[in-house]
A and B are shown apart, each in its own frame.
Chain A
Amino acid sequence: MIDTEGLTKKFGNLIAVDKLTLHVDAGEIFGFLGPNGAGKTTTIRMLCCLISKTSGTATIGGYEIGNKENSLKIRKLIGLVPDNVGLSEHLSAYDNLNFFGKIYDCTEAQRKDSIKRVLEMLGLWEKRHVLAGTYSKGMKQKLAIARALIHDPQILILDEPTANLDPEASKTVRDFILQLKGEKKTIFLNTHNLDEAQRICDRVGIMNTKLRAIGKPQDLEPMASGRKTVIALEQVTDDVVKALKKIALKNLTVEGNTLTFDVFDPDKENWPVVETIVQVGGHVRTVNVVGLDLEDTYLKLVRSSA
Chain B
Amino acid sequence: MRFSKAWLVATRDFKVFSKQKNIWYPIIVFPVVISVLFPVVLNFSLSRNGGIPAAVLLELMNSFSLFFIIGAAFIPLSIASYSIVGEKVEKSLEPLLAAPLTDGEILLGKALSALLPTLVAMYAASVVFMFGMDQMSFATLGYYYYPNWTIGTLLLVLLPVAAVLSIMFSIIVSSKVNDVRSATSFGALVFFPFLGIYLASMTHIITLDITTLLIIAGIIFVVDVALFFVSTATFRREEILTKWK
Assess the A75–B99 pair: CB atoms within 8 A. Answer: yes
Number of B positions contacting A (CB below 8 A): 24
By DSSP majority rule, is chain A's interface helix, strand, loop, or mixed? mixed
Assess the A84–B8 pair: CB atoms within 8 A. Answer: no
Assess the B102–A80 pair: CB atoms within 8 A. Answer: no
* Given contact pairs A90-B19, A90-B20, A103 touches B90 in the complex (Cβ within 8 A): no
Assess the A50–B91 pair: CB atoms within 8 A. Answer: no
A184 and B71 alpha carbons, distance in the complex (Å):
55
A91 and B12 alpha carbons, distance in the complex (Å):
9
A270 and B194 alpha carbons, distance in the complex (Å):
85
Contact for A88 among B12, B97, B98, CB less than 8 A = B12
Residue B15 is within 8 A (CB to CB) of chain A in the complex: yes
Assess the B99–A103 pair: CB atoms within 8 A. Answer: yes
Taking CB atoms, residues of chain B closer than 8 Å to A85 are 91
Residues 88-113 of B, flagged 1 when their CB comes within 8 A of A and 0 if not, give 00111111111111100000000000
A95 and B18 alpha carbons, distance in the complex (Å):
13
* Given contact pairs A86-B90, A91-B15, A45 touches B241 in the complex (Cβ within 8 A): yes
Contact for A99 among B8, B94, B237, B238, CB less than 8 A = B8
Contact for B238 among A51, A68, A86, A87, CB less than 8 A = A51
Residue B49 is within 8 A (CB to CB) of chain A in the complex: no
A99 and B92 alpha carbons, distance in the complex (Å):
13
Nearest B residue to A73, CB-CB: B100
Taking CB atoms, residues of chain A closer than 8 Å to B97 are 50
A88 and B15 alpha carbons, distance in the complex (Å):
10
Contact for A87 among B92, B100, B101, CB less than 8 A = B92
Assess the A90–B16 pair: CB atoms within 8 A. Answer: yes
Residue B203 is within 8 A (CB to CB) of chain A in the complex: no
Taking CB atoms, residues of chain B closer than 8 Å to A124 are none
Taking CB atoms, residues of chain B closer than 8 Å to A51 are 237-238, 241-242
- Contacting B at CB under 8 A, from A90-143, are 90-91, 95, 99-100, 102-104, 131
A95 and B100 alpha carbons, distance in the complex (Å):
18
Taking CB atoms, residues of chain B closer than 8 Å to A149 are none
In the complex, what's the smallest C-beta–C-beta distance from B102 to chain A, in angstroms? 7
Assess the B95–A80 pair: CB atoms within 8 A. Answer: yes
In the complex, what's the smallest C-beta–C-beta distance from B244 to chain A, in angstroms? 12
In the complex, what's the smallest C-beta–C-beta distance from B117 to chain A, in angstroms? 16
A184 and B99 alpha carbons, distance in the complex (Å):
22
Taking CB atoms, residues of chain A closer than 8 Å to B5 are 103
* Given contact pairs A102-B8, A103-B5, A86 touches B95 in the complex (Cβ within 8 A): yes
In the complex, what's the smallest C-beta–C-beta distance from B99 to chain A, in angstroms? 5
Taking CB atoms, residues of chain A closer than 8 Å to B15 are 91, 95
A49 and B15 alpha carbons, distance in the complex (Å):
28
Assess the B19–A82 pair: CB atoms within 8 A. Answer: no
Residue A185 is within 8 A (CB to CB) of chain B in the complex: no
Assess the B95–A100 pair: CB atoms within 8 A. Answer: yes
Contact for B242 among A11, A48, A148, CB less than 8 A = A11
Assess the B94–A84 pair: CB atoms within 8 A. Answer: yes
Nearest A residue to B9, CB-CB: A103
Residue A29 is within 8 A (CB to CB) of chain B in the complex: no
Assess the B98–A78 pair: CB atoms within 8 A. Answer: yes
* Given contact pairs A50-B237, A51-B238, A52-B238, A88 touches B100 in the complex (Cβ within 8 A): no
Residues 138-164 of A, flagged 1 when their CB comes within 8 A of B and 0 if not, give 000000100110000000000000000
Assess the B91–A103 pair: CB atoms within 8 A. Answer: no
Residue A269 is within 8 A (CB to CB) of chain B in the complex: no
**A–B complex contacts, Cβ < 8 Å, 11 sampled:** A50-B238, A51-B242, A80-B98, A82-B94, A86-B93, A90-B19, A99-B8, A100-B99, A103-B99, A103-B100, A148-B95
Q: Which residues of A contact B (CB under 8 A)?
A: 11, 45, 48-52, 68, 72-73, 75-76, 78, 80, 82, 84-91, 95, 99-100, 102-104, 131, 144, 147-148
User: Besides the contacts A51-B238, A90-B20, A103-B100, what 4 more A-B pairs have beta carbons closer than 8 Å?
Assistant: A51-B241, A82-B91, A95-B15, A103-B5
